[in-house]
Every structure is written in C-alpha cells, then in structure tokens.
Structure 1
Amino acid sequence: MPGQNRPAIVVDTPPTSNGDLHIGHLAGPFMAADVHARYLRARGREVVFSSGTDDSQTYVLASARRKAMPPEELCGRSWHQIKHTLERMGISLDGFAPYDDRYRASVRTFVDDLYAAGKFELRTVRLPYSERTGEFLVEGLVAGYCPVCLVFSRGGLCETCGHPNNFDELLDPQSTVDQHDPVTHRETEILVLPLEQYRERLVEFYERRKDRMRPHTVQVVRELLAKPLPDFPITYPIGWGIPAPFPETPDQRLNAWVEGIPAVMYCTAFADEQKRGGPDGSADDELWRAERDAEVIYFIGFDNVYFWGLTHVALLMAHEGKYVLPDAIVSNEFYELENDKLSTSLGNVLYTNDLLDEVPRDLIRFYLALTCPESQRANFSRAALDKVADLRVVTPWNQLAEVVNKVTAASGVTDELPVSQAAQARAGAVAARFRVCYEIDGYSLTRAADLIVAQTERLLLAAQALDPSAAGTSSALADLFLELRTLISCAAPIMIDLAASGAEAGGFTCRLDDEATRVSTVKPFRVPAIEAAAPSGA
C-alpha cells in the first residue's frame, strides 16, 4: 500500500495505434496520470511514468482495412503522431516506448514462464467466423449486442456495462469491416487462463483496495465477482499480433490483452533507462519485482476495468508472488464532444493537435482538469473552453499579476523580505488542500482546478487591498509573495507553463513537500501573465 519512501510506477494504459489522440484521450487517463506523476515528483518521490502504443489490438487491423492501408504503416504513423501530441500537451512521460523486437521478447518471456508453470489450459470454444474471408472475428473485428445490458458493443468487452462478452456470447454479431459480411460461428481450440481459479485472491485484492478506487470501478468488479469468472483467452486463431509460441496452438496469435502487463513492464524499463541515460543490464520486469516494493498506480478508462483490473491482476498473481500488484486503479468515464459521443468514424472528433494550434496548452489542461469525466460522463465544448478559461483563469490571474507588479514597482522593494507565521500558516493550509486533491485516496482534478480559481480570487482581493504608500506594505507584500509562490507550486501539476515561468521569475522550485511553505523569507518577483486563447473560429 502507499508509502512516501516507496518508488512509484505510474501506468497510463498504452493507446491503440490506429490514429492520433483526440481530446477524449487526453481528458481521461493521460491528464490524470500526468498530474499525479508531477505531484509525486514535487513531493520528492521517485517516479517512473511511461507509455507506448498497443499495436497488437485488432482495432488496428480493422482501422487499417477501412483505410485500405497496411496495418504496419498505420501503426508506425500513429506512434509518431501520438508521441508528438503527448509532447505538445506537456505529458511528462519519462519515456514513450517503441513497439519493437525487445517489446515482443518481453511479452514472450512473461507468457513463456506462465506456460512452463502450467497456468494455461486448452479449451474448445465457438468464435464468430466470416464465411467470406475465412477468418475468425474477435475483439475489434466483430460487434453485436452485449449479452448483459443488450447495448451495441464491440467484441471482448462492452463499453457501456463493463462486462466481457467472450467467444460466442455477442448477440447478432457482425463484422466491423464489412457489415454485409455473413457471420457464423466455428469451433476452435485455444489456450486460456482460468480466471475462476483466482477468485479468492481477487476478492481479497479488491477488498483491500476498494477505498482507492472510484465507485463505478468497485460496482462493476462486484458484479463480475458475483458470478463465475470466464476463461480469459490467451491465444486466438487470427493473423495479427505476436505469434503464440505454444505447440497446442500452431499459427495462432497472443490475445492483445495478454500483452498489457508485460507491455507496461517493458515501457517502465524503457522510461527508466531514458531517465538514467541508458540501460544498466536489468531485465525489463526488474522494477515490477516484489522485492523492489514499488507502488503501482493505474490510470484507465472505465471500459478497461475488466481487463486491467481482473485479467491482468490475475496474470500477475499467476506468477506466484514474483511481482507487485497495483496499489490503486483510477478510472474515468467517457468524455463527449459538444454533447455527442466522440467518434472518429462518424466525424465527431477534435484532435488535440488541432486544438493546440489555437489554445495555449495551460488553458486546455485547466479546462480538461475542470471538466474531466471522473465519475460520470462529461462534455467538451470549445465555446465553453473559451468562456471558462477567460472568466475563471485568464482574467482574474492577469488582474492579480497586474496589481501585484504595480504595487511592487511602486513600493520599490527588491530585496529578500521576512514572512509572517500567519502567512506560513495560510500557505500551509492551501498546500494541504491541494494535496488532498492530488493524493490517490481523494484524487480529483476537478477539485484541484476549482481550488486554483478560488485561491486566485482570494489573492486578487488581498492584492487589491494593498497601498504602496502605506506603512507595512513590504510586510504585506512578503506574505502575498509567499502565498503566490504556494499557489503557483500547487497549480504546477496542471498549469505547467505558468509554473515554469513563475518559478523562473521568482527563483524558486515548485515543491509540494511539507517544508515548501515553511520558508522564512521571500524575494519579490514579476508575476507572469497567462496567454489568452484565440477566439474560436478566428
């Protein structure tokens, strides 16, 4: 469980490499993971924050077929697009790993060990089958109606209720590439991980961690554990993905969802090497080993709870204590665009790079934090972004900066000034409230963004009350600058450019440890303004 001295591994589930990232991708796991990683670093924690791409997903194959292009080309193009977008948004990954031979070797080692230990079993199952193409249709290649909630769903998992739909459970299945392609079912043998064998351990796992998960995650896990757990497919008889190395399943591929844990282990190792300047000969799973006692924190979309929360945890458990288990799973709901479902295929999409061409990233990050879909669906609106960013951030902050800079210049104060104990207490109280928002037990970017607004308004009132000609102005300025430094530091995980310019101007480091607000003196500095967004449609 959490501890200040434990190294932290922050996991952002690797995005599927079937296109660039739209605004919904950023509003969910990426922003949440980035802010928490930045917070942990500001607290002095050792952190490895990594990601890569999920090239083996059948969604890649389906997208490539619809685009009439080789899937390998789509993967390569998407990797570069996604990496570029994350860099522009300031997502503070320690490394963005390539999908390469080392990746595939890491996955092979992970599953080979489980196979050698007899953890997989051979099953005869019925799978959707395309009579026209002569191929099995699984995961992103097939759609139908969920057998649990009856809502239209892709294969493998229902995005609406979060329940799996393995094998032949989808109702009225159809091809996602060609809706007119007749779909039947055929039997085949595959290897599976019998999840039911891990029931007791999974129940205990969630009982210990239920307070570090959001209500919807706890609910769907409770529903899943209330009935027999399905077998988890380890191999599929398809032609895309990593070849399955098992004699019982010749010519089959590993289920892309099996790659999840060894993939993030590999991404963690790659990112750690980037931080340290090169490899040190360690195995790709070294930082995940139990003896390293890392705190692992997942940031996922709700639709991934079943895979990352049950099947992947079971795969870790199957290694019988070799690896740490995740300490927390932070899920998010769906983000809509102009009150409609984000959909690339239907043309209702806003790519993050396009928005970055018009709006400073701090304002995007603030708006995404304020409106992020933490526990229910939320909506992105460009008009709302313009209005909210101006009224709640740009205007009040720039008024604050203007007043403070004018008073400072008029007072002539330039040297270090002593701060009062009362100011230290106020700064400590503010930092404590932000820490509540950034700690996993009460993690909320929405409340943190609200705090930025509220504290800006409070300090603006304090600044407007200053009289540069009055006695005691230098003491009041000193207290105000301490609180300004504190607010900038507390906002830093979200508003990264304001924090960088403020820290540079003030000659301080944006820290969020317990000692950050206990400074005895501060030096006045020119408070930076926030750049406004270009009007929508300009």
Structure 2
Amino acid sequence: MKDKKIERPIFPKKAIITAGMPYGNKDLHFGHVGGVFVHADTFARFLRDRIGNENVIFVSGTDCYGSPISASYLKLVEEGKYEGSIEEYVREYHEKQKEVLEKYEMSMNLYAASALDRAGEIHKGVSEEIFNKLYDNGYLAKASSPQFYDPDFKVFLNGRQVVGKCPIEGCSSDKGYADECDLGHQYMPDELIDPKSILSGKTPELRKVTNWYFKLEEYNNTLAERVDYLRANSNLRKNLLNTIEESLKPPVIFVKRKQLEGITDLEEKLPKHRTIDEPKKPSITFVFESLEDRDIARGVFDEVGVRFRTGKTLVPFRLSGNVEWGIPVPDKEELKALTFWVWPESLWAPISFTKTYLETIGKNPDQWTEWWHSEDSKVYQFIGEDNVYFYGIAEMAMFMALEGIKAGDKIDWDKINLPHLIANSHLLFMNKKASSSGAVKPPMARELLEYYTPEQLRMHFLSLGLSKGSVSFMPQVFMEEKDKQGPDTVLKDGNLLTNVFNRLVRSCFYTAQKHFNGTIPVGEISDSIMEESKEAILTYERHMYNHEFHSLIYVLDSYIRNMNKYWVNNMRVADTSDDNALRKQVLIDAFHAVRTVTTLIHPIAPKSCEKVREYLNVNENLWNWEYIFEPVYKFIVDQTMHKLKFLEPRVDFFEKHQSQISF
C-alpha cells in the first residue's frame, strides 16, 4: 500500500442533499424510509464528517398539493370522517412523517411542508418567480389540450381521478392515469387507453382546457448531449442515464402489421416520416420529425380505424391545472384561476426549503444560489426510479432554461452545475411491489420500529443494493411460520454491529480496565493493521463517493470481521502465556480498529457511535476526515490525564431491539 499512488475522489466544498417528498395524505411506509431517506441521510452525515457540518444542508418535506391529496380529503369530508380544513389535514400527516423520520435518526436541517408555515409562503413566492422568468424569456406556451370530464359529477378530473392503460409501447405498468402512468411515462390525456372515472366508474368525456406548458420537447437534443457528456465525465449510474435516454427518442407510432392489411393509401395521408419494417417484428414503426407530425398521424390512424401505440418521447411539460388546492399561477394572457400542477412545483420545492432554512439560521435567503449554482458546490438529489423523467429530464431542462440556456445553444458542460441524481430501484415487499393504493399493502415505517432498531434497519436497507435493481424486503416478523426459512435477513447486517463489532469494542474496554488501569496503552500501531485500516478507509470513501452503499457495507463487514479475528487469535495467545507485551500491542491495534470503524459507521449508526466516542473520552474531531488516518491518541486532549469512561458489565454500544432479547 505504501508504494501505491491512490487517487482519492474529490468532494465539493459545499453540498445540498435532498430526498424525495412524500405525499401529504399518507404516513410513511417502509419504502419511503428504506428506499430513499436512509441513503440520503447516510450520505449527508458522511459529507458533514468529510467537508464540515456547516457546509452541508439536507432538506426535504411533505408534498402538500395535488389532486390525490384533494380527492382523499374531500372523500373523508363527504363520508363525515373529517371535519378540519385541508391545511389541517396535510399538517397532521406532515407531523406524523416528521416524527417517524426523527425516530429513524434522520438529520435533515429542515423537513418542511410545501403548503405550510414560512416554507409554504416562500414556496409560493419561488413558484411565481420561476413562472414569470420562464414566461418572460419565451419558454412557455399556452395550449388547449383535452382533459377528462365526468358528466355525471359535472367536474373535470385531475391526475389519479382517471384510471386506464398506459399507451406507451412496451410499458409494463398496470395503472395509467390522466397523463402519466405509475412508472412515470408521460403522454397526452387523449392517448390513455380505456379511461375510466374513479368517481362514476364510466368512460369520461374529453373537453378542451387551456393550460401553460413548458417547451420541454425543444430540449430533446440538448438533453441527449448532456447524457453523452455525463457518460464520459461523471459517476452517474448508467441505468439512470439509460432511463433518461429512453425518453429522448423521436416521436414514433407502432402499428401491428395485421392492422394495416388492406390499407393502400396510408403513406400518402401521413405527414413526413420514415418507416421501419423489420419482418421478424409484429409491429411496423413510423418515425416522425416532430410531435406535431406524430399527432397528425394519430388522427389519420384513427380515421382509418387502425389501433396503435406510441413510443417514449418528450412532450410539452404541463405547469398548470385547475385543481383548487394548489399554488396560484400568475394571471397571464387572460388565463386566470389556474394553479400549479404538483409535479413542477415539487421539483423546485427544495430550492424553497433551502431559502427557508437559510432564513431560519439568520442568513439571507438569496444566498441559496451559492449552494445551488456555485462551482464549488453540488446538489445531490435522492429519488426513486419512477421519478427519473421528472428529475432527470423536466427538472434539468427547466433549470437550464432558468439559467438562460436555450435549446440548441452550444454548451460547455464543464461549466453547467446541475443536480446530481441518485435514483434507487424499487424496494419490494415479499417479492412484490407494494403500494398504499395497490393490492399489496406495505408495512408502515413506524411499525417496523416495534421489531427492529433504527440502526438495524438502516444497515439492512443500505446493504440491499438498490443501485443495481429492485430488491425484496423480507422481514420475518411479517411472515407466517411456514414461510420462515433460516435467520431473519433483516438482522444480518445489523448483527455485524450488535454482535461482532459490539463484542470487539467491549473487549477492548474490559481489557483496558483489567490490565491497563482503564487507559488506552500508548504505542505504535502494527504496520499490517495500519495498512489494512487505510485500505478499508480508502475503499469505503470511493464507494461513498459513487453512492454504492451496499459495497461499503461489504467493506465494513470484511474489515470488522478481520479485526475481530485478529483480536481473538492474538489475545488468546497473550492470555494463555500471560504475555503482557503482546496483550498491549493487540490492544493498541484493536483500539485503532475501533477508532476506524466508529468513524466509518458514524453516518449509518450515529447514536451508537456517539456512545463509543463518549466512552473513549475523545473529542469530536474523531469524525473529521481531515484526520481519518490518525490514531485515537490524536483526539485525546491530555494523554497524561486521559481515562476511558468506565464500562459496566453487560453494557452494549450497539443494542438489539427489546423484542430480540431473551430473558
């Protein structure tokens, strides 16, 4: 190791961390916490140790607006099950979410709510400012598009009040809504297959409604250039870039070849296009130069009675709607009484929350730009894979537009500071996709704490490898006895702390108390231990930089078990021969291992690591990565006066849940 030149990753001087926002009509289920928040919090805590607590802001909040929230609230009111205002309704869920996140040891600087209190006020102002800037610079267009209308209830239907089948070719979603499916595919309302109103159960009418749209489709080539740049110059996950790229295809229509039998004049009726006819495939592909041409072609196919499916492509991104519960859109060009669609305003909500937090600590809210745009800062956004379209495409294009970057501009990508996305795959439940609105109901995050500690769950969720693909969460406490096989997998990685590392730390303290007057013996750390520790640190750092959380858990597992084995093998020899010199050396080495592991585990199991630091009786520079390779003596204020805090028998640093302890 000493002879190797290792290139260490470079972290920004300042960082914003965001985590996906839960809806304001739901308590948190295990997927919210285990799929996004644990990863975001671990990285935020690591960065605080790595670049300084004052240089990291971690924000998130409750997504308060949108038709699902309004619909669920109105339903409860109509059924006589709720009497408060809609603000009181979302506040109740906001407080519940906040409480659960605190129980999981999340370290957000601000967990706000997009409709409540000072954060809500600032968010309204930010929304208005962004709209006006996009409008004034020509990035918006008003368009009349079909919207679903239920004549039985005499209301326009929004979002999830319409259910059908996604029109995108190859989509595996079993639920399509008004203009998006539950896998995040975007389309126009009149493309939805077999739509049904959730109010009447009947097929709704389509009536023209005028709204504001961001000209997202114009950024197709620009976004494609950015993907190419990121592939070559960033550590963004390749599956994320692939997902973005899938939506940057030209407008196409797929038609089963049997549908075209007997039709002879189709080519003449269609606008300019090229046809891809591969004999081995059941469908013929028609590729168009623009979205407008594709829509004309859809009309042609409808006229001749040909059924078809469309492909993924960029469509104008709707900014407004007519849901009463929403942030008002500024009145422009005789369009009045519109509110923001929840998705666009939720994309810039973290900016609002950043401004709110800066204000709470006495700083100028306008300093948010120093965190979101400066060259020495980076924004890391942790999201679920279903939301890549919104964050990876719509957000990026809008943020470029807000910076004055027009579609087709020549761009020096090295100088463009856009958010870095970390998209996790689905966290399944018992091998099935769980959803609070689906057939498989997920356990609530709060419920899990009745059987596992927060740190056991944090370790487990990080170990699952959601960067690679969907993984099942299979807690045995929710299984029937006949389905249980072997030990509870949820405890496997937590046991590394509660069993293996806990045993090593306790052994160090009890040995120091018995043989060295409750002090850490002073001496040189063995070269082999120092080198193995350095290697673990550097490998861990690289995995953290790449957000490969399952890999860093593997590094910790290997290092902790090796250090425990070193202790057991060598201390057995020292005790058998009563070799105090060997005992001292082993204890010196083991305390270095304890110091190293405690710092590396600190972002994952913060409370227990603080307890170790308290008993070591060392200062908080133990967490500071400026001193990551230094021995524990570096953090002792006065070595001549230093004593470990006395460890009573049967005291654990990393504790098991009470339900797991046999009495």
**Cross-structure match for 1:500:** 610
**Cross-structure match for 1:119:** 139
Give the Cα–Cα distance (whole angstroms) in 2 for the partners of residues 244 and 379 of structure 1.
41
**Cross-structure match for 1:370:** 463
The answer to which of 372-381 and 116-125 deviates more is 372-381
Q: Cα RMSD over matched residues?
A: 2.7
Q: Classify 1:93/1:391 alpha carbon distance in 2 versus 1 (closer, same or farther; 3 Å).
A: closer
1:477 equivalent among 567, 587, 594: 587
**Cross-structure match for 2:628:** 516
Give 1:132-531 correspondences, 5 Å limit: 132-148=152-168, 149=171, 151-155=173-177, 156-160=179-183, 162-176=184-198, 178=199, 180-210=201-231, 211-228=234-251, 229-248=314-333, 249-274=335-360, 277-278=361-362, 280-283=363-366, 285-288=368-371, 290-291=373-374, 293-321=376-404, 325-345=417-437, 346=439, 348-371=441-464, 373-383=466-476, 384-385=488-489, 387-388=491-492, 391-413=495-517, 414-415=519-520, 417-420=522-525, 422=527, 423-439=529-545, 442-465=546-569, 466=571, 467-468=574-575, 469-470=578-579, 471-506=581-616, 507-509=618-620, 510-511=622-623, 513=625, 515-519=627-631, 521=633, 525=644, 528-531=652-655
Check the 8 A contact 1:143/1:152 in 2, yes or no: no
Give the Cα–Cα distance (whole angstroms) in 2 for the partners of residues 270 and 503 of structure 1.
33
Check the 8 A contact 2:592/2:632 in 1, yes or no: no
TM-score (norm 1): 0.91
Give the Cα–Cα distance (whole angstroms) in 2 for the partners of residues 485 and 498 of structure 1.
13
Residue 583 of structure 2 aligns to which amino acid in structure 1?
Answer: T
Q: Classify 1:196/1:389 alpha carbon distance in 2 versus 1 (closer, same or farther; 3 Å).
A: closer
Check the 8 A contact 1:419/1:521 in 2, yes or no: no
Residue 306 of structure 1 aligns to which amino acid in structure 2?
Answer: Y
Give the Cα–Cα distance (whole angstroms) in 1 for the partners of residues 490 and 317 of structure 2.
46
Give the Cα–Cα distance (whole angstroms) in 1 for the partners of residues 619 and 367 of structure 2.
36
Residue 320 of structure 1 aligns to which amino acid in structure 2?
Answer: E
Give the Cα–Cα distance (whole angstroms) in 1 for the partners of residues 628 and 154 of structure 2.
64
Give the Cα–Cα distance (whole angstroms) in 2 for the partners of residues 405 and 501 of structure 1.
13
Q: Per-residue CA shift, 1:325-354, capped at 9, x if unaligned? A: 434211011112233332224472211122
The answer to which of 397-406 and 229-238 deviates more is 397-406
Give the Cα–Cα distance (whole angstroms) in 2 for the partners of residues 416 and 263 of structure 1.
52
Post-superposition shift, 1:41? Answer: 1.0
Residue 612 of structure 2 aligns to which amino acid in structure 1?
Answer: G
Q: Classify 1:213/1:140 alpha carbon distance in 2 versus 1 (closer, same or farther; 3 Å).
A: farther
Check the 8 A contact 1:48/1:272 in 2, yes or no: no
Matched, 1:40 2:146: no
Give the Cα–Cα distance (whole angstroms) in 2 for the partners of residues 520 and 398 of structure 1.
18
Post-superposition shift, 1:300? Answer: 0.6
Post-superposition shift, 1:387? Answer: 4.3
Post-superposition shift, 1:378? Answer: 1.4
Give the Cα–Cα distance (whole angstroms) in 2 for the partners of residues 406 and 290 of structure 1.
51
Check the 8 A contact 1:382/1:536 in 2, yes or no: no
Check the 8 A contact 1:502/1:528 in 2, yes or no: no
Give the Cα–Cα distance (whole angstroms) in 1 for the partners of residues 110 and 50 of structure 2.
21
Check the 8 A contact 2:216/2:316 in 1, yes or no: yes
Secondary structure class of the residue paired with 1:157? coil
Q: Classify 1:293/1:420 alpha carbon distance in 2 versus 1 (closer, same or farther; 3 Å).
A: closer
**Cross-structure match for 1:6:** 13
Q: Classify 1:291/1:461 alpha carbon distance in 2 versus 1 (closer, same or farther; 3 Å).
A: closer
Residue 400 of structure 1 aligns to which amino acid in structure 2?
Answer: L
Secondary structure class of the residue paired with 2:623? coil
Q: How many residues align?
A: 530
Q: Classify 1:272/1:206 alpha carbon distance in 2 versus 1 (closer, same or farther; 3 Å).
A: farther
Give the Cα–Cα distance (whole angstroms) in 2 for the partners of residues 105 and 83 of structure 1.
24
Give the Cα–Cα distance (whole angstroms) in 1 for the partners of residues 237 and 322 of structure 2.
36
Give the Cα–Cα distance (whole angstroms) in 1 for the partners of residues 94 and 625 of structure 2.
36
**Cross-structure match for 2:110:** 95
TM-score (norm 2): 0.74
Check the 8 A contact 1:452/1:487 in 2, yes or no: yes
Give the Cα–Cα distance (whole angstroms) in 2 for the partners of residues 407 and 536 of structure 1.
27
Residue 36 of structure 2 aligns to which amino acid in structure 1?
Answer: P
Secondary structure class of the residue paired with 1:192? strand
Check the 8 A contact 1:268/1:287 in 2, yes or no: no
Q: Per-residue CA shift, 1:343-375, capped at 9, x if unaligned? A: 224472211122223322111111111225323
**Cross-structure match for 2:296:** none
Residue 335 of structure 1 aligns to which amino acid in structure 2?
Answer: L
Residue 449 of structure 2 aligns to which amino acid in structure 1?
Answer: L
Q: Classify 1:71/1:171 alpha carbon distance in 2 versus 1 (closer, same or farther; 3 Å).
A: farther
Q: Per-residue CA shift, 1:211-256, capped at 9, x if unaligned? A: 4322332222111112242111111233231122133422221111
Q: Percent of pairs identical after alignment?
A: 22
Larger radius of gyration: 2
Provide structure 1 residue ranges, at least 5 long, that are not aligned to the other structure.
none
Check the 8 A contact 1:12/1:299 in 2, yes or no: yes
Q: Classify 1:57/1:215 alpha carbon distance in 2 versus 1 (closer, same or farther; 3 Å).
A: farther
Give the Cα–Cα distance (whole angstroms) in 1 for the partners of residues 471 and 75 of structure 2.
29
Give the Cα–Cα distance (whole angstroms) in 1 for the partners of residues 14 and 491 of structure 2.
40
Post-superposition shift, 1:187? Answer: 1.2
Residue 479 of structure 1 aligns to which amino acid in structure 2?
Answer: D
Secondary structure class of the residue paired with 1:271? helix
Matched, 1:23 2:108: no
